[in-house]
Amino acid sequence: MAKPLVAILSGAGISTDSGIPDYRGPNGLWTRDPDYEKLVTIEYYLADPEIRRRSWAMRREMFDLNPRPNAAHLAIAELSASGAAAVRVITQNIDGLHQAAGMPARKVLELHGTSRTVVCTGCGARTPVADAFARIDAGEPDPPCLECGAILKAATVMFGEALDPDVLASAAAIAKACTVMFAVGTSLQVYPAAGLAALAAGSGARLVIVNAEPTPYDDVAAEVVREPISEAMPRLLRALAPDRTNENAGGRRP
């Protein structure tokens, strides 16, 4: 019997319990400071050295938080490791916490890239973000590429940039094929990522939305959960791996 394919579509809300603020929530970065969005908009970033300086400072602040995976990230990785289901993560996040929790990188699709790597806007050279921070600490507030001298940026998809078509195509294939999709901590307002929830539901998957605030897709979901994500996800995912739950509860099944 084939294993069920469980898709996790995760957004900023899954990482708030790890100390990373979300964007659009009541206390989100953009709710508190609408000008913050300029720091992640490619047009402003390329045109204004001051925006780049502030953007690097913002990313350094996030990096120095040294966030760790929370119970939701760990529960997803544990389900994958249990073998009870084939698990694939499609994340809008750039924090790398799914991989840090134990999800193999090949099973995680990062729709919006990663903040752990820096890319040159000219030649495309990639380096660890820690290298850029070291140069900033040494007195370069806006470090250029060491290969060609062009502007460096985090290897994230900024506003005004297109998603990687190959990554998006893989995400769509998972959405079409999955048995159940958990949309976790995402407002489901940013496209094309938000459309993956509709694609999954329209292809026959059971859509479960776990989010503090209402989303545009609540009406098509089989279940909507408003509980704290780090509490809800371990419970919801344990139901998909009852054998593992029984073993963890006090011994092997007869």
pLDDT at 253 exceeding the cut of 50: no
What pLDDT, on the 0 to 100 scale, is given for residue 244?
Answer: 47
- Of the residues 112, 116, 135, 238, which is catalytic? 112
pLDDT at 32 exceeding the cut of 70: no
| Residue 95 burial (10 A CB sphere; 0-12, 13-18, 19+) | buried
pLDDT in tens, 59-113: 888 888 788 999 999 999 999 999 999 999 999 999 999 999 999 999 999 999 9
β-partners of residue 87 are: 6
Tokens of 85: 């289901």
Instruction: Based on the residue annotation, tell me whether 112 is a catalytic residue of this protein.
Output: yes
Where does the pLDDT of residue 35 fall: very low under 50, low under 70, confident under 90, or very high at 90 and above? confident
Arithmetic mean of pLDDT over the chain: 89
CA 217 – CA 193 distance, rounded (Å): 13
pLDDT at 249 exceeding the cut of 70: no
Where does the pLDDT of residue 23 fall: very low under 50, low under 70, confident under 90, or very high at 90 and above? low
| Residue 191 burial (10 A CB sphere; 0-12, 13-18, 19+) | exposed
CA 202 – CA 100 distance, rounded (Å): 32
What pLDDT, on the 0 to 100 scale, is given for residue 191?
Answer: 86
Picking from 26-30, 212-216, 229-233, 243-247, which range would have the lowest pLDDT averaged per residue?
243-247
Structural domains of the chain, ranges and CATH numbers in brackets:
1-20+77-112+164-254 (3.40.50.1220), 29-64+115-156 (3.30.1600.10)
